[in-house]
Amino acid sequence: MNKKPIYVTRPFLPPLEDFLPYLKEIWESHILTNEGPFHKQLEIALGEYLGVKYVSLFSNGTLALITALQALKITGEVITTPFSFVATTHALMWNNMKPVFVDIEPDTCNIDPEKIEAAITPSTTAILPVHVYGNPCKYIRIKEIADKYGLKVLYDAAHSFGVKEAGISLVSFGDLSVLSFHATKVFNTFEGGAIICHDQKTKEHIYQLRNFGIINETTVVTSGINAKMNELQAAMGLLQLNFIEKSIGKRKLVTETYRFILGNIPGITILKEQPDVRYNYAYFPIFINANLFGKTRNEVYEELKAQNIFSRRYFYPLISQFPIYSGLESACKGRMPVAERVTEEVLCLPIYPDLEMPVVDEICGIIKDFRK
């Protein structure tokens, strides 16, 4: 058994000595927050890296999502996916909106666009899809539906930092897109997040919403909150950008090794990479069919844990299966058969830049041997 535990992820941290000059500047300036110099630099640098013009930084991704819903003036019912982290739906509830769940696609785990129209009612105002694991949603089809019914589209792009399809960043799509820079993400600022919008007027409104609604020393124009990113987070983000391509490259090597070793084992399914997509390799999910593999997903999960390897059933259970949401009509058992199957089969294996290849081999070996 591994003496050292292996977790599903491990935050990338740049060399401490590289961070110290940033700390020195902060200590010398005494500027800790309120759109300091590092904050402003990071918004510009992220816009350049992501290929977008308007980036608004936040202290975390959940506050960014809550604020994005406010910025779009969304009300009533919002069609979304049950297969995501619970913050996606919590953001709706905090804004007094009703989530309406629809099923997912088996080949991407994203919301199934062909299930959206049937869920639209006179109270529907928006669609909230998630690019799950960084797999691009069918954004063209989703836009067609949204345009047909006059709906807003807000993308939860928490998994999608740096992901591009046909050379275009995923965060370019929708009325707004929201990123997370949590410690577990490909790009982290300890905690953090951002909203991507398409014009300066919207960016200014988002600024007001994240800063108490203040526009000057004596004027408050809206009931905003305090969701600003501080200078320590912004400094970390600037430094992280120096390492992001190398970090993604290392993740790709881990992914390729998993695919090579586990790709032909009966009972294990691995999502296919879509053509013309530049991935960030944020997660490595496998899907275990107990009838073909001979063991359930939960049994594999427990076996790995017994070997001091901590995978994650991500996402399990479905958001719609939590008691706070299970009473919704759209959450009724049997209404989303694909999502209900996937949540019982999914297992995300450890993946992070510093994960050593012998450990990847060992994880694969445990899974293979457990099937025998």
Cα of 227 vs its chain's centroid, Å: 19
pTM: 0.97
Question: What one-letter code names the amino acid at 218?
Answer: T
Taking the C-alpha atoms of residue 365 and residue 176, their distance in angstroms, rounded to an integer, is: 43
Strand partners, 111: 104
Locate 106 and state its tokens: 């088996």
Provide the pLDDT for residue 372.
Answer: 75
Asked, as a colleague might, if the bond just before 317 is cis with ω within 30 of 0, I would say yes
In residues, how long is the chain? 372
Locate 298 and state its tokens: 């939960």
Question: What one-letter code names the amino acid at 31?
Answer: I
Instruction: Look up tokens 């009838």; give the residue.
Output: 291
Do the beta carbons of residue 79 and residue 60 sit within 8 Å?
no
Model confidence over 117-159: pLDDT tens digits?
Answer: 999 999 999 999 999 999 999 999 999 999 999 999 999 999 9
Cα of 267 vs its chain's centroid, Å: 27
Model confidence over 262-300: pLDDT tens digits?
Answer: 999 999 999 999 999 999 999 999 999 999 999 999 999
Model confidence over 168-214: pLDDT tens digits?
Answer: 999 999 999 999 999 999 999 999 999 999 999 999 999 999 999 99
Provide the pLDDT for residue 3.
Answer: 76
Q: Do domains 16-241 and 244-371 have the same CATH topology?
A: no
Q: Which helix (H) or strand (E) holds 171?
A: none
Nearest to 37 by CA among 48, 26, 52, 24: 26
DSSP 223: -
Model confidence over 58-89: pLDDT tens digits?
Answer: 999 999 999 999 999 999 999 999 999 999 99
Taking the C-alpha atoms of residue 129 and residue 143, their distance in angstroms, rounded to an integer, is: 11
Q: Where are the domains of the chain?
A: 16-241, 244-371
Q: What is the CA radius of gyration of the chain?
A: 21
Fold (topology level) of 244-371: Aspartate Aminotransferase, domain 1 (3.90.1150)
CATH 3.40.640.10 is held by the domain 16-241: yes
Q: Which helix (H) or strand (E) holds 371?
A: helix 357-371
Model confidence over 105-124: pLDDT tens digits?
Answer: 999 999 999 999 999 999 99
2: confidence class by pLDDT, cuts 50, 70, 90: low
Cα of 347 vs its chain's centroid, Å: 17
Model confidence over 213-247: pLDDT tens digits?
Answer: 999 999 999 999 999 999 999 999 999 999 999 99
DSSP 228: P
Taking the C-alpha atoms of residue 215 and residue 213, their distance in angstroms, rounded to an integer, is: 7
Taking the C-alpha atoms of residue 340 and residue 356, their distance in angstroms, rounded to an integer, is: 34
